[in-house]
Structure 1
């Protein structure tokens, strides 16, 4: 049995390495294609690395469209949404788990049922509401329409359910308000879950395409996904400027790669805490 385990360990590593290469290959191909000429992209057999890397493709793609503005819009909107969702999700989840009020279970059931609705079913009423409020084609419209997330409420609720109720009850007996208990006790104890939620929400909002495209027509408000699509179509990229499209795509995912590199340790620690994994 011991020999079998020793043989399985390197096999497992080889399988995981193979899966990692398969998952990373599209990104590697995108990066190398951004350094190629158009002929090298369409060459057969395919060329993995260009004969002469065209580093100027990045500068040309950056100046061909206002990608700096697109990146700012996406980072700004996603960051504000993460902050707002963190606050309102924490308050709602705390109320559902550690406060007693009539129809609490009915409220949670309504929240779950709303999560089961197709996203497309909410587009029309949401658009009408934003139009009546005068928030179409504005930063506020992009932010307000994503200020509440049912998934975030449910996720934080599950994290708060793991907190000992005795601590909350003891704090109430000592005279602490619900607001103080939430932000000085519950929030710090569940911070790993909030780290995961913040990263998931940021990536989701950063990559959001369809809904922002519906409520924003002003090019100055385009997020990176809509801006990249606009550059892809208007720049005549169909069969003509694929290296620039690949370079622009690489530029747009750089903030996400940097975010992951910076928060990797926090993310792994958060996952370990959330699933109760303790190191030896």
Structure 2
């Protein structure tokens, strides 16, 4: 039972540390250590539900850009002087975003070659593969490529923008759509980094209450939906049909915080009709509902919608 766990001094003071969990105390205002630990575990649960969504955003954006530019400019479209930018002709100092994109491909190539040497025990001069390099790029690479420095006559944008962003454009101007796509991608890239570095997903300037934290996470899900739909609506449908969006929305909710704090009702199921009613409610409300069935020894379950 959760009431019998040694929250202090073992779990919180030693295994987690008061410094790390202090922000949970401030934002979620738990009544006791059990609720405090519940908020902490909820964060891990929410992060787990958000990982597939963030991964889908990164991979979808990466492949949309790479496949389009590969078809037009060749397999190693980023190499040499193929990837021109607006300031190139003027001889101005290379802008940060352009240099960062260039450096990221060099870094990815080195990582790919290093992996070939270590995993396959290859020696001598190694020729990198297109798929190997692309697979080693970081999310930031593709955010940099959405910069306005690549927008202009003879450059990759706007020439290829409608092929990369095949969803409904919010405005007809290519430059404005490119800017919106970049803002969405940058927001999600920063958020993804927080998730992958095991930081509280809900932390941000201005998040002062539990309601703020939930609202912040729901906004990030909406941002991911917008970018996926802009790249191609079928990307969004894939996540919807397989329940990943619903899972993320459900995980990032006040109801799930309460469940991890052991503050939700446990529904007693005595008949199949009661179970069917509970399942229908779970589906309608997109909520995880706890149930208990007494058949011999009492058994507890969580009813989840698909």
More helix by share: 1
Normalising by the residue count of structure 1, what TM-score does the alignment of the two structures yield?
0.29
More strand by share: 2
Query: Looking at both structures, which has the greater relative contact order when contacts are Cα pairs under 8 Å and sequence separation is at least 6?
Result: 1
Normalising by the residue count of structure 2, what TM-score does the alignment of the two structures yield?
0.27
